[in-house]
Amino acid sequence: MITAADRTTTRPPGAEQLIRRAGVGRRLFPVEKLEYWAANPRLPYTGEPLRRVRSRIEVRRDDFDGRPVYEVTPLRCGPARGHVVYLPDAVLLCPWLHVALPHPDVAGLARSDVTFNVDDLRAAGLRYAGGDPVDTPLVSPATGPLDGLPRLTLVSGTHDVLHPDTREFWDRAVAAGLDVDGYEQYAGRHLWMYLPGQDGVPPVFDKIRDRLVSAS
């Protein structure tokens, strides 16, 4: 079940204060950047890192259940003491489930979110849709049917503009009887679990680890 954690403080962590002072937040996807990307598309993704990156890492590809799995090992850091597992669809960390951000609570959060500009996000969503309706499931997964979905773990933060749509999807999934659980960090910003100084990080990583172990 999604739980609220650390309701005793809303003091921003050091990383958030730095973003505020630097003035670089809220402009991750300005329209001029979107237009530049559209005019200068990248080459198709091949799964291989850039040449300058390959000089610093070793990349080995395997296939697991029909899906590619890449093991990336630094070349200059000595023997590895563990692994960091990145699962893009296994566990949802602060997901963008509806590109139009239709939930009415988004407007209130937009005034305090230091990471995203809502207008920029919606403009990026329109371009991502490529002319398709923004509420089609292939563009906004939260609008799709729930039948056949695997076990889900959702992690979100209450001060992230993506949170209201995540919470609405969570409520819908629970009502439908899906095997879904999650963790909701009070005052958490987008991808709060990666920022230094955030309370609640050990419990959420424990939850993710337990979920992955039980599914293996």
All residues at 6 or more sequence positions from 156 whose CB lies less than 8 Å from its CB, including other chains: 2, 94, 95, 162, 163, 166, 167, 182, 183, 184, 185, 188
Contact of 29 with 124, CB cutoff 8 Å: yes
The span from the CA of 187 to the CA of 194, in Å, is 14
Q: For 81-117, write each residue's pLDDT tens digit.
A: 777 777 655 688 999 999 999 999 999 998 878 788 8
Domains in the chain: ranges and CATH: 4-45+85-215 (3.40.50.1820)
Average pLDDT over residues 66-84: 79
| CA 25, 155, 170, 136 torsion-angle sign | positive
Give the DSSP per-residue string, 125-172: HHHHHTTS-TTSTTT-GGGS--TT---EEEEEETTSTTHHHHHHHHHH
pLDDT attached to residue 2: 45
How far, in whole angstroms, is CA 81 from its chain's centroid?
Answer: 26
Whole-number mean pLDDT of the chain? 80
Average pLDDT over residues 158-187: 90
Q: For 1-60, write each residue's pLDDT tens digit.
A: 344 433 333 444 555 666 556 555 566 778 888 888 888 877 766 666 777 888 888 888
| CA 92, 98, 99, 105 torsion-angle sign | negative
| 18 or 161, higher pLDDT | 161
| pLDDT at position 200 over 70 | no
The rounded radius of gyration (Å) of the Cα atoms in the chain is 19
| pLDDT at position 128 over 70 | yes
169, 29, 26, 5: which is closest to 97 by C-alpha?
169
pTM of the predicted model over 0.75: no
pLDDT attached to residue 8: 31
Q: Tokens for 16?
A: 């958030």
